[in-house]
């Protein structure tokens, strides 16, 4: 059996007639750059997320750059963020001539540790940039309180967390700007690159809209108040996202259900640590990421059994060659480094079947069982096939699988 990390075709098949009809209507209109289709999507997105405004742009990476520009980040400024995230988070900071200042993560959630932020602040700090990694919100209350006390802006990287909730508030709507990605494999994915910024501040929404079109103003296409760049959300992407957004709540709920099943079955394996769910938070499981002993061996074994598991991310940002000028060394952020050695993302997506999920679980059981030649079960020594399996449930029984 082959189990992909993600298979986008499964959800597309059910939506194909509606998507093709929406695209055909757009093509007939030939309003392809910004225009009514983008306006409608931005209004729907803002309402869905509980934000006053949404500004569509070319990608999640561009959303970060636009947000940092809009809050005034300049060369020489510092932006405090996490070293354990996708490259775009720190890349956006560097692109503006600012300096990313890294803070280690909370080992339970993989998100930035709020208790470590204040010692990293200097008089050059302009922004705190938390990431809601894998779809779990960062611990925002202490971050927001610190930022208010020190007069700093909070920009959220919610690229993996659309619909996630922190204390009944939606990720991406807690700071001054929240950044979303609609890369195809995201929980809400376009047919290519696309992104958006969320904000409640009218002055910022006007600036974001200007910056995405080279710093021009509405009705004045060749007069430039700011130096922006070209990052418009394609109308084609807007209509596709508009169709998909109607299913997003259901898709996120499916991801939570799949995650719960994994957690219940993998909880019997002592060598595996399932994702921690923070109190009063709602994870949307863009990725289902375990910590695993002998991670690389497990990933290789799963691949041999047809299971595509991936590492997000194998090297933290402070150890990337392109950031050598920051003069970090191994050991500077030990939790981020430990996570990079242990994390493994298992297949999770709407359309993942019971049989496929059981195949993943069985092979994780079998991998760790094979590492042991003998084990005492119920007071008796057992050897041979299945010996050493560390997944015994109550009364020595293996937990049931859906496909069994």
Q: Where are the beta strands (DSSP E) in 95-161?
A: 99-102, 125-129, 153-157
Decide: helix, strand or coil at residue 312: coil
Each residue's pLDDT tens digit, 175-218: 999 999 999 999 999 999 999 999 999 999 999 999 999 999 88
Q: What is the pLDDT of residue 400?
A: 73
Percent of the chain at pLDDT > 90 equals 89
pLDDT surpassing 70 at residue 23: yes
What's the pLDDT score for residue 399? 66
Read off the tokens for 353.
């079947």
Task: Round to whole Å and give the CA distance between 290 and 139.
Answer: 20
Q: With 70 as the cut, is the pLDDT of residue 300 above it?
A: yes
Q: What's the token pair of residue 4?
A: 């992909």
Can you give the pLDDT at residue 401?
Answer: 78
| pLDDT at residue 388, rounded to an integer | 36
Angle between helices 354-370 and 295-304 (to 10 degrees): 130
Long-range contacts of 267-275 (CB under 8 A, 24+ apart): 268/390, 268/391, 268/392, 268/393, 268/398, 268/399, 269/364, 269/365, 269/368, 269/390, 269/391, 270/390, 271/368, 271/390, 272/364, 272/368, 275/134, 275/136
395 pLDDT exceeds 90? no
pLDDT for the residue 398: 61
In the sheet with 169-170, reading across from the earlier edge strand, the strands are 169-170, 165-166, 281-282
Architecture of domain 9-245: 3-Layer(aba) Sandwich (3.40)
Q: How far is CA 69 from CA 87, 97, 150, 177, in A?
A: 18, 11, 20, 11
Q: In 3D, which of 278, 318, 315, 327 has the Cα closest to residue 103? A: 318
| Number of neighbouring beta carbons within 10 Å of residue 67 | 30
DSSP 331: T
Weakest mean pLDDT among 28-37, 239-248, 365-374: 365-374
CATH entry, 248-371, from 3.30.70.3400, 3.90.1150.10, 3.30.465.10, 3.40.50.1000: 3.90.1150.10
Residue 282: phi and psi, rounded to 5, are -120, 110
Mean pLDDT along residues 293-304: 98
Count of C-beta atoms within a 10 Å radius of residue 113: 20
* Per-residue model confidence (pLDDT) at position 221: 86
Rg (CA), the chain: 23
Of 167-176, 311-320, 357-366, 388-397, the one with minimum mean pLDDT is 388-397
Domain ranges of the chain: 9-245, 248-371
d(CA 126, CA 153): 7
Question: Which pTM does this prediction carry?
Answer: 0.93
């Amino acid at each position: 059996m082959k189990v992909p990390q993600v298979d986008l075709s499964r959800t597309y098949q059910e939506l194909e007639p509606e998507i093709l009809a929406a695209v055909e209507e757009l093509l007939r209109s030939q309003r392809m750059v910004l225009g009514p289709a983008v306006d409608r999507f931005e209004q729907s997105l803002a309402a869905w997320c509980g934000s006053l405004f949404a500004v569509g742009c070319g990608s999640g990476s561009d959303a970060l750059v636009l947000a940092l520009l809009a809050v005034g980040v300049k060369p020489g400024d510092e932006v405090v963020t996490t070293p354990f995230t996708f490259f775009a988070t720190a890349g956006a900071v560097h692109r503006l001539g600012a300096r990313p200042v890294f803070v280690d993560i909370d080992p339970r959630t993989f998100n930035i540790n709020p208790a470590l932020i204040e010692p990293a602040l200097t008089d050059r700090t302009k922004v705190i940039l938390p990431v809601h990694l894998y779809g779990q919100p960062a611990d925002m209350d202490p971050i927001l309180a610190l930022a208010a006390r020190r007069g700093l802006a909070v920009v959220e990287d919610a690229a993996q967390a659309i619909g996630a909730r922190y204390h009944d508030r939606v990720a991406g709507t807690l700071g001054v700007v929240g950044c979303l990605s609609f890369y195809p494999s995201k929980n809400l994915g376009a047919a290519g690159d696309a992104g958006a910024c969320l904000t409640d501040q009218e002055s910022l929404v006007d600036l974001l809209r200007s910056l995405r079109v080279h710093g021009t103003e509405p009705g004045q296409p060749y007069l430039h108040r700011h130096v922006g760049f070209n990052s418009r959300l394609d109308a084609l992407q807007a209509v596709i996202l508009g169709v998909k957004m109607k299913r997003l709540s259901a898709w996120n709920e499916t991801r939570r259900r799949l995650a719960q099943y994994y957690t219940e079955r993998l909880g019997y394996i002592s060598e595996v640590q399932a994702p921690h769910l923070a109190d009063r938070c709602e994870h949307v499981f863009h990725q289902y990421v375990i910590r695993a002993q002998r991670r690389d061996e497990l990933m290789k074994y799963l691949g041999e059994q047809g299971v595509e598991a991936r590492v997000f991310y194998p090297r933290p940002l402070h150890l990337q060659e392109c950031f050598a000028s920051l003069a970090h060394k191994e050991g500077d952020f030990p939790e981020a480094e430990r996570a990079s050695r242990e994390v493994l993302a298992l297949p999770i997506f709407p359309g993942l079947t019971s049989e496929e999920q059981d195949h993943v679980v069985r092979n994780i059981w079998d991998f760790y069982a094979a590492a042991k030649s003998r084990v005492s079960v119920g007071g008796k020594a057992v050897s041979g096939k299945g010996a050493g399996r560390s997944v015994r449930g109550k009364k020595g029984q293996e937990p049931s699988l859906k496909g069994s």
